[in-house]
Amino acid sequence: MPRLASLIESKLPEETVEMLRTAGELAAAGESGAGEAYLVGGSVRDLVLGREPNDPDIVVTGNGPRFARALTAQIKGEVTSVSQFGTAVIQSPQGRVDVATARSETYSSPAALPEITPSNMEDDLKRRDFSVNAMALSLLPSNWGELLDPYKGFADCARSRIRILHDASFQDDPTRILRSVRYEVRLGFSLEVETAEVLERDLSYIDRLTSARLVAELRKILEEPERANILRKAEAEGIIGAISPSLRVAESGLKTMEQLDSADELLYLACMTSSLTEEEADAVIARLEPDREWQAVIRGAAAFRVTASVLESADLLPSDVVELLERVPVPVLEFQRIAGPRTRQRDHIEAYLRRHREIRPETTGDDLAAQGVPRGPVMGKLLHELKTAKLDGKVTSQQDEFELVRRRLPILLDRERQGTDQPAGAAAP
Ligand code: CTP
Protein backbone atom coordinates (compact mmCIF):
# COMPACT_ATOMS: atom_id res chain seq x y z
CA MET A 1 0.00 0.00 0.00
CA PRO A 2 1.29 3.46 -0.80
CA ARG A 3 2.32 5.84 1.95
CA LEU A 4 0.66 9.19 1.72
CA ALA A 5 2.53 10.76 4.64
CA SER A 6 3.74 13.60 2.44
CA LEU A 7 0.16 14.47 1.53
CA ILE A 8 -0.83 14.71 5.18
CA GLU A 9 2.14 16.92 5.87
CA SER A 10 1.77 19.19 2.87
CA LYS A 11 -1.98 19.61 2.66
CA LEU A 12 -3.06 19.87 6.29
CA PRO A 13 -2.36 22.78 8.62
CA GLU A 14 0.65 22.18 10.84
CA GLU A 15 -1.42 22.07 14.03
CA THR A 16 -3.70 19.43 12.52
CA VAL A 17 -0.69 17.32 11.52
CA GLU A 18 0.60 17.64 15.09
CA MET A 19 -2.76 16.58 16.48
CA LEU A 20 -2.87 13.55 14.16
CA ARG A 21 0.67 12.55 15.15
CA THR A 22 -0.30 12.82 18.81
CA ALA A 23 -3.37 10.66 18.13
CA GLY A 24 -1.20 8.00 16.48
CA GLU A 25 1.36 8.03 19.30
CA LEU A 26 -1.38 7.79 21.87
CA ALA A 27 -2.94 4.76 20.17
CA ALA A 28 0.49 3.11 19.84
CA ALA A 29 1.14 3.62 23.55
CA GLY A 30 -1.79 1.28 24.17
CA GLU A 31 -3.35 2.91 27.21
CA SER A 32 -5.95 5.12 25.57
CA GLY A 33 -8.66 2.60 24.73
CA ALA A 34 -7.46 2.39 21.12
CA GLY A 35 -5.41 -0.18 19.22
CA GLU A 36 -5.13 1.40 15.78
CA ALA A 37 -5.94 4.96 14.75
CA TYR A 38 -6.79 6.23 11.27
CA LEU A 39 -7.74 9.35 9.44
CA VAL A 40 -10.81 8.34 7.38
CA GLY A 41 -13.54 9.35 4.97
CA GLY A 42 -13.77 12.72 3.28
CA SER A 43 -10.39 14.01 4.48
CA VAL A 44 -8.56 11.07 2.95
CA ARG A 45 -10.50 11.43 -0.30
CA ASP A 46 -9.68 15.13 -0.43
CA LEU A 47 -5.99 14.52 0.32
CA VAL A 48 -5.80 11.95 -2.46
CA LEU A 49 -7.48 14.40 -4.83
CA GLY A 50 -5.23 17.26 -3.79
CA ARG A 51 -8.20 19.19 -2.41
CA GLU A 52 -8.36 21.11 0.84
CA PRO A 53 -9.77 18.66 3.40
CA ASN A 54 -12.49 19.61 5.89
CA ASP A 55 -12.33 18.87 9.61
CA PRO A 56 -10.62 15.53 10.22
CA ASP A 57 -12.48 12.32 11.11
CA ILE A 58 -10.50 9.81 13.18
CA VAL A 59 -11.52 6.17 13.63
CA VAL A 60 -9.90 3.93 16.24
CA THR A 61 -10.27 0.27 16.93
CA GLY A 62 -11.35 -0.16 20.55
CA ASN A 63 -13.15 2.60 22.39
CA GLY A 64 -13.56 5.88 20.50
CA PRO A 65 -14.98 8.06 23.30
CA ARG A 66 -12.31 6.89 25.77
CA PHE A 67 -9.64 7.61 23.21
CA ALA A 68 -11.16 11.05 22.53
CA ARG A 69 -10.91 11.91 26.23
CA ALA A 70 -7.29 10.76 26.36
CA LEU A 71 -6.50 12.81 23.25
CA THR A 72 -8.04 15.98 24.66
CA ALA A 73 -5.72 15.71 27.65
CA GLN A 74 -2.83 16.08 25.21
CA ILE A 75 -4.13 18.57 22.68
CA LYS A 76 -5.97 20.81 25.13
CA GLY A 77 -9.32 20.29 23.48
CA GLU A 78 -12.64 19.39 24.99
CA VAL A 79 -14.98 16.45 24.29
CA THR A 80 -18.26 18.22 23.62
CA SER A 81 -20.46 15.23 22.86
CA VAL A 82 -20.45 11.45 22.99
CA SER A 83 -23.04 9.24 21.27
CA GLN A 84 -24.40 5.79 21.89
CA PHE A 85 -22.80 4.76 18.55
CA GLY A 86 -19.30 5.04 20.02
CA THR A 87 -18.55 8.45 18.55
CA ALA A 88 -17.27 11.63 20.18
CA VAL A 89 -16.74 15.20 19.07
CA ILE A 90 -13.69 17.15 20.17
CA GLN A 91 -13.57 20.93 19.96
CA SER A 92 -9.97 22.03 20.03
CA PRO A 93 -8.06 25.21 19.19
CA GLN A 94 -7.41 23.56 15.79
CA GLY A 95 -11.16 23.11 15.17
CA ARG A 96 -13.54 20.18 15.32
CA VAL A 97 -12.32 16.61 15.32
CA ASP A 98 -14.74 13.66 15.07
CA VAL A 99 -13.59 10.45 16.72
CA ALA A 100 -15.41 7.16 16.16
CA THR A 101 -15.04 3.55 17.20
CA ALA A 102 -14.42 1.23 14.23
CA ARG A 103 -17.70 -0.61 13.76
CA SER A 104 -19.77 -2.79 11.51
CA GLU A 105 -23.35 -1.95 10.65
CA THR A 106 -26.37 -4.04 9.77
CA TYR A 107 -29.67 -2.69 8.54
CA SER A 108 -32.77 -4.48 9.86
CA SER A 109 -34.87 -2.98 7.05
CA PRO A 110 -34.25 -0.55 4.19
CA ALA A 111 -33.64 3.05 5.29
CA ALA A 112 -33.72 2.08 8.98
CA LEU A 113 -30.96 3.39 11.21
CA PRO A 114 -28.25 0.73 11.38
CA GLU A 115 -27.46 -1.63 14.23
CA ILE A 116 -23.87 -1.20 15.26
CA THR A 117 -21.19 -3.55 16.60
CA PRO A 118 -17.61 -2.50 17.41
CA SER A 119 -15.33 -4.15 14.89
CA ASN A 120 -12.14 -3.82 12.88
CA MET A 121 -11.12 -1.21 10.34
CA GLU A 122 -12.03 -3.28 7.26
CA ASP A 123 -15.60 -3.59 8.52
CA ASP A 124 -15.70 0.09 9.28
CA LEU A 125 -14.75 0.93 5.70
CA LYS A 126 -17.17 -1.66 4.33
CA ARG A 127 -20.18 0.10 5.89
CA ARG A 128 -19.49 3.33 4.01
CA ASP A 129 -21.27 4.90 1.09
CA PHE A 130 -18.77 5.07 -1.79
CA SER A 131 -15.33 3.68 -2.50
CA VAL A 132 -13.82 7.18 -2.59
CA ASN A 133 -15.08 7.72 0.97
CA ALA A 134 -13.93 4.29 2.16
CA MET A 135 -10.20 4.89 2.45
CA ALA A 136 -8.17 5.33 5.64
CA LEU A 137 -4.67 6.59 6.43
CA SER A 138 -2.87 5.03 9.37
CA LEU A 139 -1.76 7.42 12.10
CA LEU A 140 0.41 4.94 14.03
CA PRO A 141 4.09 6.03 14.06
CA SER A 142 5.13 2.59 12.73
CA ASN A 143 3.14 3.04 9.53
CA TRP A 144 2.28 6.73 9.52
CA GLY A 145 0.42 7.71 6.35
CA GLU A 146 -0.06 4.18 5.02
CA LEU A 147 -3.20 3.94 2.90
CA LEU A 148 -5.81 1.32 3.73
CA ASP A 149 -7.94 0.98 0.62
CA PRO A 150 -9.71 -2.40 0.44
CA TYR A 151 -12.46 -1.07 -1.87
CA LYS A 152 -10.20 0.57 -4.47
CA GLY A 153 -11.16 4.13 -3.70
CA PHE A 154 -7.77 5.38 -4.89
CA ALA A 155 -8.36 3.93 -8.35
CA ASP A 156 -11.84 5.44 -8.44
CA CYS A 157 -10.40 8.83 -7.51
CA ALA A 158 -8.04 8.48 -10.45
CA ARG A 159 -10.94 7.52 -12.73
CA SER A 160 -13.18 10.27 -11.33
CA ARG A 161 -15.98 7.92 -10.46
CA ILE A 162 -18.44 7.37 -7.65
CA ARG A 163 -19.03 3.70 -6.93
CA ILE A 164 -21.08 2.00 -4.23
CA LEU A 165 -19.56 -0.91 -2.33
CA HIS A 166 -22.47 -3.35 -2.65
CA ASP A 167 -25.75 -3.80 -4.46
CA ALA A 168 -28.00 -2.91 -1.47
CA SER A 169 -26.15 0.29 -0.56
CA PHE A 170 -28.85 2.74 -1.70
CA GLN A 171 -31.58 0.57 -0.17
CA ASP A 172 -29.78 0.44 3.17
CA ASP A 173 -29.37 4.18 3.21
CA PRO A 174 -31.26 6.11 0.51
CA THR A 175 -29.66 9.40 1.61
CA ARG A 176 -26.72 8.06 -0.41
CA ILE A 177 -28.75 8.73 -3.57
CA LEU A 178 -28.67 12.44 -2.75
CA ARG A 179 -25.09 12.26 -1.51
CA SER A 180 -23.96 10.68 -4.79
CA VAL A 181 -25.13 13.57 -6.92
CA ARG A 182 -23.63 16.05 -4.45
CA TYR A 183 -20.20 14.39 -4.79
CA GLU A 184 -20.52 13.95 -8.56
CA VAL A 185 -20.97 17.66 -9.07
CA ARG A 186 -18.61 18.85 -6.33
CA LEU A 187 -15.75 16.64 -7.47
CA GLY A 188 -16.57 16.62 -11.18
CA PHE A 189 -17.01 12.82 -11.02
CA SER A 190 -19.48 10.47 -12.73
CA LEU A 191 -21.39 7.50 -11.41
CA GLU A 192 -19.78 4.21 -12.31
CA VAL A 193 -22.06 2.34 -14.75
CA GLU A 194 -23.44 -0.27 -12.35
CA THR A 195 -23.86 2.28 -9.58
CA ALA A 196 -25.94 4.40 -11.97
CA GLU A 197 -28.14 1.40 -12.80
CA VAL A 198 -28.63 0.53 -9.14
CA LEU A 199 -29.40 4.14 -8.31
CA GLU A 200 -32.13 4.25 -10.95
CA ARG A 201 -33.53 0.95 -9.76
CA ASP A 202 -33.62 2.08 -6.14
CA LEU A 203 -34.93 5.64 -6.54
CA SER A 204 -38.23 4.69 -4.93
CA TYR A 205 -36.44 3.89 -1.65
CA ILE A 206 -36.24 7.63 -1.08
CA ASP A 207 -39.89 7.25 -0.03
CA ARG A 208 -38.76 5.45 3.07
CA LEU A 209 -36.61 8.26 4.37
CA THR A 210 -37.95 10.28 7.25
CA SER A 211 -38.68 13.89 6.47
CA ALA A 212 -35.95 15.03 8.87
CA ARG A 213 -33.27 13.06 7.02
CA LEU A 214 -34.50 14.33 3.66
CA VAL A 215 -34.42 17.96 4.80
CA ALA A 216 -30.93 17.46 6.24
CA GLU A 217 -29.73 16.22 2.82
CA LEU A 218 -31.42 19.09 0.98
CA ARG A 219 -29.74 21.51 3.38
CA LYS A 220 -26.35 19.97 2.59
CA ILE A 221 -27.05 20.46 -1.12
CA LEU A 222 -28.01 24.09 -0.56
CA GLU A 223 -24.74 24.61 1.35
CA GLU A 224 -22.63 23.54 -1.64
CA PRO A 225 -21.20 26.25 -3.90
CA GLU A 226 -22.42 24.20 -6.90
CA ARG A 227 -25.96 23.91 -5.47
CA ALA A 228 -27.69 24.86 -8.73
CA ASN A 229 -25.82 22.24 -10.76
CA ILE A 230 -26.49 19.59 -8.13
CA LEU A 231 -30.22 20.33 -8.19
CA ARG A 232 -30.18 20.45 -12.01
CA LYS A 233 -28.62 17.00 -12.14
CA ALA A 234 -30.89 15.65 -9.41
CA GLU A 235 -33.90 16.90 -11.37
CA ALA A 236 -32.63 15.33 -14.60
CA GLU A 237 -31.97 11.99 -12.90
CA GLY A 238 -35.46 11.81 -11.36
CA ILE A 239 -34.15 12.25 -7.81
CA ILE A 240 -36.14 15.42 -7.15
CA GLY A 241 -39.31 13.74 -8.41
CA ALA A 242 -38.59 10.76 -6.17
CA ILE A 243 -38.57 13.06 -3.13
CA SER A 244 -42.10 14.15 -4.02
CA PRO A 245 -43.89 14.03 -7.37
CA SER A 246 -44.99 17.59 -6.59
CA LEU A 247 -41.44 18.90 -6.22
CA ARG A 248 -40.05 20.40 -9.41
CA VAL A 249 -36.94 22.51 -9.69
CA ALA A 250 -37.37 24.88 -12.61
CA GLU A 251 -34.48 26.09 -14.73
CA SER A 252 -35.54 29.72 -14.18
CA GLY A 253 -35.14 29.29 -10.41
CA LEU A 254 -31.73 27.66 -10.86
CA LYS A 255 -30.55 30.48 -13.13
CA THR A 256 -31.51 32.98 -10.43
CA MET A 257 -29.77 30.84 -7.81
CA GLU A 258 -26.58 31.10 -9.87
CA GLN A 259 -26.76 34.89 -9.94
CA LEU A 260 -27.01 35.34 -6.18
CA ASP A 261 -24.07 36.67 -4.29
CA SER A 262 -25.53 36.39 -0.80
CA ALA A 263 -25.33 33.16 1.17
CA ASP A 264 -28.84 32.68 2.47
CA GLU A 265 -30.33 29.20 2.67
CA LEU A 266 -33.89 30.55 2.59
CA LEU A 267 -33.21 32.54 -0.56
CA TYR A 268 -31.82 29.42 -2.23
CA LEU A 269 -34.92 27.56 -1.09
CA ALA A 270 -37.14 30.26 -2.62
CA CYS A 271 -35.28 29.78 -5.93
CA MET A 272 -35.63 26.03 -5.65
CA THR A 273 -39.38 26.07 -5.06
CA SER A 274 -40.30 29.13 -7.11
CA SER A 275 -42.22 27.24 -9.79
CA LEU A 276 -44.57 25.30 -7.50
CA THR A 277 -48.30 25.85 -7.46
CA GLU A 278 -49.94 26.28 -4.06
CA GLU A 279 -51.21 22.71 -4.25
CA GLU A 280 -47.75 21.40 -5.02
CA ALA A 281 -46.25 23.52 -2.26
CA ASP A 282 -48.67 21.95 0.24
CA ALA A 283 -47.76 18.45 -0.96
CA VAL A 284 -44.03 19.20 -0.68
CA ILE A 285 -44.51 20.58 2.83
CA ALA A 286 -46.50 17.48 3.79
CA ARG A 287 -43.57 15.30 2.62
CA LEU A 288 -40.71 17.33 4.07
CA GLU A 289 -42.38 18.54 7.27
CA PRO A 290 -39.75 21.29 7.46
CA ASP A 291 -39.46 23.98 10.13
CA ARG A 292 -41.72 27.03 10.04
CA GLU A 293 -39.27 29.22 8.13
CA TRP A 294 -38.99 26.68 5.32
CA GLN A 295 -42.77 26.22 5.27
CA ALA A 296 -43.33 29.97 5.03
CA VAL A 297 -40.89 30.28 2.12
CA ILE A 298 -42.23 27.28 0.20
CA ARG A 299 -45.82 28.44 0.67
CA GLY A 300 -44.98 32.11 0.15
CA ALA A 301 -43.15 31.42 -3.11
CA ALA A 302 -46.18 29.58 -4.47
CA ALA A 303 -48.71 32.13 -3.24
CA PHE A 304 -46.79 35.05 -4.74
CA ARG A 305 -48.51 34.82 -8.13
CA VAL A 306 -51.68 36.45 -6.79
CA THR A 307 -49.71 39.17 -5.01
CA ALA A 308 -47.71 39.79 -8.18
CA SER A 309 -50.82 40.50 -10.23
CA VAL A 310 -52.15 42.96 -7.62
CA LEU A 311 -48.76 44.72 -7.62
CA GLU A 312 -49.24 45.57 -11.29
CA SER A 313 -52.21 47.90 -10.60
CA ALA A 314 -51.49 51.56 -11.25
CA ASP A 315 -53.01 53.20 -8.21
CA LEU A 316 -51.31 51.58 -5.25
CA LEU A 317 -50.21 53.75 -2.37
CA PRO A 318 -47.01 52.84 -0.51
CA SER A 319 -49.16 51.70 2.42
CA ASP A 320 -51.12 49.33 0.12
CA VAL A 321 -47.85 47.82 -1.05
CA VAL A 322 -46.60 47.41 2.51
CA GLU A 323 -49.88 45.79 3.50
CA LEU A 324 -49.49 43.30 0.65
CA LEU A 325 -45.80 42.57 1.02
CA GLU A 326 -45.58 42.36 4.80
CA ARG A 327 -47.21 38.95 4.56
CA VAL A 328 -44.61 37.62 2.11
CA PRO A 329 -41.38 36.14 3.54
CA VAL A 330 -38.41 38.38 2.68
CA PRO A 331 -36.47 35.61 0.84
CA VAL A 332 -39.43 35.22 -1.53
CA LEU A 333 -39.38 38.97 -2.19
CA GLU A 334 -35.62 38.94 -2.70
CA PHE A 335 -36.10 36.17 -5.23
CA GLN A 336 -38.85 38.11 -7.04
CA ARG A 337 -36.74 41.28 -6.98
CA ILE A 338 -34.02 39.47 -8.88
CA ALA A 339 -36.10 37.13 -11.02
CA GLY A 340 -39.41 38.94 -11.53
CA PRO A 341 -40.26 40.91 -14.68
CA ARG A 342 -38.89 44.46 -14.90
CA THR A 343 -42.25 46.06 -14.37
CA ARG A 344 -44.14 48.02 -11.74
CA GLN A 345 -44.08 44.89 -9.58
CA ARG A 346 -40.34 44.95 -9.28
CA ASP A 347 -40.29 48.68 -8.50
CA HIS A 348 -42.75 48.11 -5.68
CA ILE A 349 -40.71 45.24 -4.24
CA GLU A 350 -37.52 47.25 -4.44
CA ALA A 351 -39.09 50.26 -2.73
CA TYR A 352 -40.50 48.00 -0.04
CA LEU A 353 -37.23 46.18 0.65
CA ARG A 354 -35.05 49.30 0.51
CA ARG A 355 -37.24 51.85 2.31
CA HIS A 356 -40.84 51.16 3.19
CA ARG A 357 -40.29 47.99 5.19
CA GLU A 358 -38.47 49.97 7.89
CA ILE A 359 -40.81 52.93 8.11
CA ARG A 360 -42.47 53.44 11.49
CA PRO A 361 -44.25 56.48 12.93
CA GLU A 362 -42.24 58.59 15.33
CA THR A 363 -44.98 58.12 17.91
CA THR A 364 -44.67 54.90 19.91
CA GLY A 365 -47.16 52.96 22.01
CA ASP A 366 -45.55 54.46 25.09
CA ASP A 367 -46.11 57.98 23.74
CA LEU A 368 -49.77 57.16 23.17
CA ALA A 369 -50.09 55.63 26.64
CA ALA A 370 -48.56 58.81 28.10
CA GLN A 371 -51.34 60.74 26.38
CA GLY A 372 -53.94 58.54 28.04
CA VAL A 373 -54.66 56.12 25.18
CA PRO A 374 -55.57 52.75 26.72
CA ARG A 375 -53.40 49.83 25.61
CA GLY A 376 -55.47 47.47 23.47
CA PRO A 377 -57.21 47.42 20.08
CA VAL A 378 -57.69 51.19 19.85
CA MET A 379 -53.98 51.80 20.41
CA GLY A 380 -53.18 49.16 17.77
CA LYS A 381 -55.44 50.89 15.27
CA LEU A 382 -53.98 54.29 15.97
CA LEU A 383 -50.42 53.04 15.49
CA HIS A 384 -51.49 51.40 12.24
CA GLU A 385 -53.15 54.60 11.00
CA LEU A 386 -50.03 56.56 11.93
CA LYS A 387 -47.84 54.20 10.00
CA THR A 388 -50.14 54.31 6.96
CA ALA A 389 -50.24 58.10 7.05
CA LYS A 390 -46.46 58.31 7.29
CA LEU A 391 -45.92 55.85 4.43
CA ASP A 392 -48.30 57.81 2.21
CA GLY A 393 -46.76 61.17 3.12
CA LYS A 394 -49.85 62.44 4.96
CA VAL A 395 -47.88 63.12 8.11
CA THR A 396 -44.31 64.34 8.01
CA SER A 397 -43.55 65.32 11.62
CA GLN A 398 -44.41 64.19 15.11
CA GLN A 399 -46.59 67.30 15.35
CA ASP A 400 -48.66 66.00 12.41
CA GLU A 401 -48.85 62.63 14.12
CA PHE A 402 -50.16 64.11 17.38
CA GLU A 403 -52.71 66.04 15.35
CA LEU A 404 -53.89 62.81 13.69
CA VAL A 405 -54.17 61.13 17.08
CA ARG A 406 -56.16 64.04 18.47
CA ARG A 407 -58.60 63.83 15.55
CA ARG A 408 -58.94 60.04 15.37
CA LEU A 409 -58.87 58.97 19.00
CA PRO A 410 -62.40 60.09 19.95
CA ILE A 411 -63.84 58.48 16.80
CA LEU A 412 -62.08 55.16 17.44
CA LEU A 413 -63.04 55.12 21.12
CA ASP A 414 -66.62 55.87 20.21
CA ARG A 415 -66.69 53.09 17.65
CA GLU A 416 -65.24 50.68 20.13
CA ARG A 417 -67.92 51.59 22.67
CA GLN A 418 -70.67 51.04 20.10
CA GLY A 419 -69.09 47.84 18.83
CA THR A 420 -69.05 49.16 15.24
CA ASP A 421 -65.37 48.76 14.91
CA GLN A 422 -63.63 48.32 11.57
CA PRO A 423 -60.60 46.13 11.08
CA ALA A 424 -57.17 47.68 11.72
CA GLY A 425 -56.39 47.96 7.99
CA ALA A 426 -59.54 49.97 7.14
CA ALA A 427 -58.88 53.43 5.77
CA ALA A 428 -59.36 56.46 7.96
CA PRO A 429 -62.19 58.76 6.77
N1 CTP B 1 -20.87 8.09 5.34
C2 CTP B 1 -21.52 7.01 4.75
N3 CTP B 1 -22.85 7.05 4.48
C4 CTP B 1 -23.57 8.16 4.80
C5 CTP B 1 -22.94 9.25 5.42
C6 CTP B 1 -21.58 9.19 5.67
O7 CTP B 1 -20.87 6.02 4.46
N8 CTP B 1 -24.88 8.20 4.54
C9 CTP B 1 -19.41 7.99 5.64
C10 CTP B 1 -18.52 8.31 4.46
O11 CTP B 1 -17.37 7.50 4.57
C12 CTP B 1 -18.13 9.75 4.69
C13 CTP B 1 -18.05 9.81 6.21
O14 CTP B 1 -19.06 8.90 6.66
O15 CTP B 1 -16.90 10.05 4.10
C16 CTP B 1 -18.30 11.18 6.81
O17 CTP B 1 -19.55 11.68 6.40
P18 CTP B 1 -19.78 13.19 5.98
O19 CTP B 1 -19.16 14.09 6.98
O20 CTP B 1 -21.21 13.36 5.63
O21 CTP B 1 -18.99 13.22 4.62
P22 CTP B 1 -17.58 13.66 4.14
O23 CTP B 1 -17.05 12.60 3.24
O24 CTP B 1 -16.73 14.12 5.26
O25 CTP B 1 -17.99 14.73 3.11
P26 CTP B 1 -18.03 16.24 3.12
O27 CTP B 1 -16.81 16.58 2.36
O28 CTP B 1 -19.32 16.57 2.42
O29 CTP B 1 -18.03 16.69 4.57
Indicate which CATH number applies to the domain containing 144: 3.30.460.10
Average predicted confidence (pLDDT) for the chain: 92
Could you tell me if residue 64 is inside a domain? yes
6-59 tens-digit pLDDT: 889 999 999 999 999 999 999 999 888 889 999 999 999 999 999 989 899 999
Cβ of 175 less than 6 Å from ligand 1: yes
- 130: pLDDT strictly greater than 70: yes
Q: Please, which residues bridge with residue 115 across strands? A: 106
The more confidently predicted of residues 98 and 420 is: 98
Task: Give me ligand 1 centre to Cα 221, in Å.
Answer: 13
- 345 and 371 belong to one structural domain: no
78-117 tens-digit pLDDT: 999 999 889 999 999 878 999 999 999 888 888 888 888 9
Q: Could you tell which of 104, 125, 128, 162 is best to mutate to test the pocket of ligand 1, judged by most ligand atoms within 8 Å of the CB?
A: 128
Query: Which of these three, 243, 266, 286, is where a domain ends?
Result: 243
Task: Give me ligand 1 centre to Cα 347, in Å.
Answer: 45
Q: Could you tell which of 46, 125, 129, 162 is best to mutate to test the pocket of ligand 1, judged by most ligand atoms within 8 Å of the CB?
A: 129
- 329 and 255 belong to one structural domain: yes
Atom number of ligand 1 nearest to Cα 42? 23
- 147 and 185 belong to one structural domain: no
- 23 and 124 belong to one structural domain: yes
- 267 and 332 belong to one structural domain: yes
Query: Which of these three, 130, 159, 188, is where a domain ends?
Result: 159
Query: Which of these three, 159, 178, 205, is where a domain ends?
Result: 159
Q: How many domains does the chain have?
A: 4
- 110 and 166 belong to one structural domain: no
- 192 and 140 belong to one structural domain: no
Give the structural domain span for 130: 5-159
- 73 and 168 belong to one structural domain: no
Could you tell me if residue 426 is inside a domain? no
- 325: pLDDT strictly greater than 60: yes
- 344: pLDDT strictly greater than 90: no
- 94 and 69 belong to one structural domain: yes
Atom number of ligand 1 nearest to Cα 220? 28
Nearest Cα residue to 175 out of 129, 133, 135, 131: 129
Do 151 and 172 meet the contact criterion of CB atoms below 8 Å apart?
A: no
- 108 and 225 belong to one structural domain: no
Instruction: Report d(CA 148, CA 125) in Å as an integer.
Output: 9
Could you tell me if residue 191 is inside a domain? yes
Task: Give me ligand 1 centre to Cα 43, in Å.
Answer: 10
The protein residue whose alpha carbon is closest to atom 19 in ligand 1 is: 42
Could you tell me if residue 427 is inside a domain? no
CATH code (residue 218) = 1.10.110.30
The more confidently predicted of residues 293 and 5 is: 293
Could you tell me if residue 149 is inside a domain? yes
Cβ of 225 less than 6 Å from ligand 1: no
- 152 and 171 belong to one structural domain: no
Instruction: Report d(CA 160, CA 165) in Å as an integer.
Output: 16
Cβ of 129 less than 6 Å from ligand 1: yes
- 41 and 109 belong to one structural domain: yes
